[in-house]
Amino acid sequence: MMLRLPQLGALGATVAGFLMVAWTAAAQPSAPQFNPDNALDEARVEERSILGQLAMIDGELEQVLAEILERREELEELERQRATHVAAVQEADRQLQSLAGGVRAQIRALYRIYRQGLAQVLFGAEDPRELRRRGRYLASLVRADAGRFRTFEQIRDQRQSTLNKLDEDRSRLDELRDELEDKESELREQRSARMDLLKKVRERRELALQVMGEWDRARNQFDTMLDARTDTQTTQPTRNRPTDAWAGGMGISRTAVPTSPSSANTFRESFGRLPWPVRGRLVRRYGLSTNPATGHRTTHNGIDVAAEFAEPVRAVYRGIVRMAGPVRGLGQTVAVQHGPYTTVYAHLSGVRVRVDDTVVAGQVIGLVGNTGLTSADGYRLTFEVRYNNSPQDPLPWLTQ
């Protein structure tokens, strides 16, 4: 499960070796045998692609998160059982208290009969009629006593059994809490390992260039795959002009708050009224942006919303799930088709739907994460709106 240190170090070693060879070649231009393309090819053969490593770590994170959620559900169920057992003990105490007075009175009556002598009580009757009456009274008293004593003992035994279950509950709860702490610690370590890898990607220009090349290829593969899985339509889209995703004064700090689902009959009629897919803060817009490590200008196909880890991500409109799972570069991704339109939810930490599922607006389809290749250390959702697989600016579609 855990990402081993050699796996993390291997990438750094490969890059360091590549940079050393490149530096040596620059310092000694007379060495014609050095070929940067060959060096890069050798590095790729020697080491998995960067996105491949990220995908591997993302898979491990998803598995650990699933185990944590499973332990939490078991913990909640045990808490409910414990509450039931506590209530049962309290009810047994109440019943025992209610019976205690009668039992004490019966014991005192039996003690008095014992002191007087049973024969004296029976045969002290002055006539046969009185004798029969006393006999019936004593018999009913004995039967009632036996019943009350049995009830008392049963309740007492049930109470003790429930107390034993409470002890077992406490022991199991302690075990589950320990397991949960271990899993959460494991998840934190794996997150840290992943962040270290991303930091190396951002800090090295050469490595970032390689990543950008892989990212472009991954995005093209995603476009092709999505195009194959969605049915294209001919309705004209609502067009939006791309803007610089990092332009100042563009309201980047806007808070995203999910609203009630739109009542429109079609996706297109929901323009400007779609609910936000997640509660968070808008941190990146649709359009052109510059990679800080490489200066490379790229077009961002959606918007980024920063949110808490594992914050629920909801479908913005009813539709059919066409993609649900890991995608190179985008990490855990869900794509929902709404006729000629498709909404994409990327960099999730977990997916809660399957391909061909029908979803409704507001339904939880995944959890916020940072799987795939992201541009920040925090957790965020990349949200896209596409018409016939052509990206649109999602912001005007959302309720303001």
CATH class of the region 235-397: mainly beta
pLDDT tens digits, one per residue of 327-385: 888 899 999 999 999 999 999 998 999 999 999 999 999 999 988 877 666 899 999 99
What is the SS3 assignment for 87?
Answer: helix
Q: Give the separation between CA 318 and CA 152, rounded to whole angstroms.
A: 60
Amino acid at 43: A
Contact 257, 276 (CB under 8 A): yes
Residue 383: the pLDDT is: 98
Structure tokens at 170: 């406490």
At 167 the pLDDT is: 77
Strand 303-306 with 297-300, pairing? unpaired
Closest CA to 317 of 292, 291, 336: 336
For 113, 118, 119, 133, 355, the CA distances from 129, given in Å and listed in that order, are 20, 17, 16, 6, 88
Kindly list the distances between the CA atom of residue 264 and the CA atoms of 215, 231, 268, 364, in Å, as whole numbers in the listed order.
36, 21, 8, 20
Q: What is the full per-residue pLDDT of the chain (400 aa) written as tens digits? A: 444 434 434 444 444 444 344 433 433 443 344 344 444 444 444 445 556 666 777 777 777 778 778 877 877 887 888 788 778 778 777 776 776 666 666 666 666 665 555 555 555 656 667 656 766 666 666 666 666 667 767 777 777 787 777 777 778 777 877 877 787 777 768 767 766 766 665 565 566 656 667 777 777 788 888 888 876 444 444 444 334 443 333 334 456 656 666 666 899 999 999 999 999 999 999 998 776 555 667 788 999 999 999 999 999 999 999 999 998 888 999 999 999 999 999 999 989 999 999 999 999 999 999 888 776 668 999 999 999 999 999 999 999 8
Cβ–Cβ < 8 Å for 362, 274: no
Tell me the pTM.
Answer: 0.56
Among 345, 365, 326, smallest CA distance to 56 is for 326
CA distances from 61 to 7, 339, 393 (A): 15, 33, 31
Domain ranges of the chain: 235-397
Structure tokens at 300: 């961002």
In the three-class reduction of DSSP (H, G, I as helix; E, B as strand; rest coil), residue 382 is classed as strand
pLDDT, residue 266, reads 92
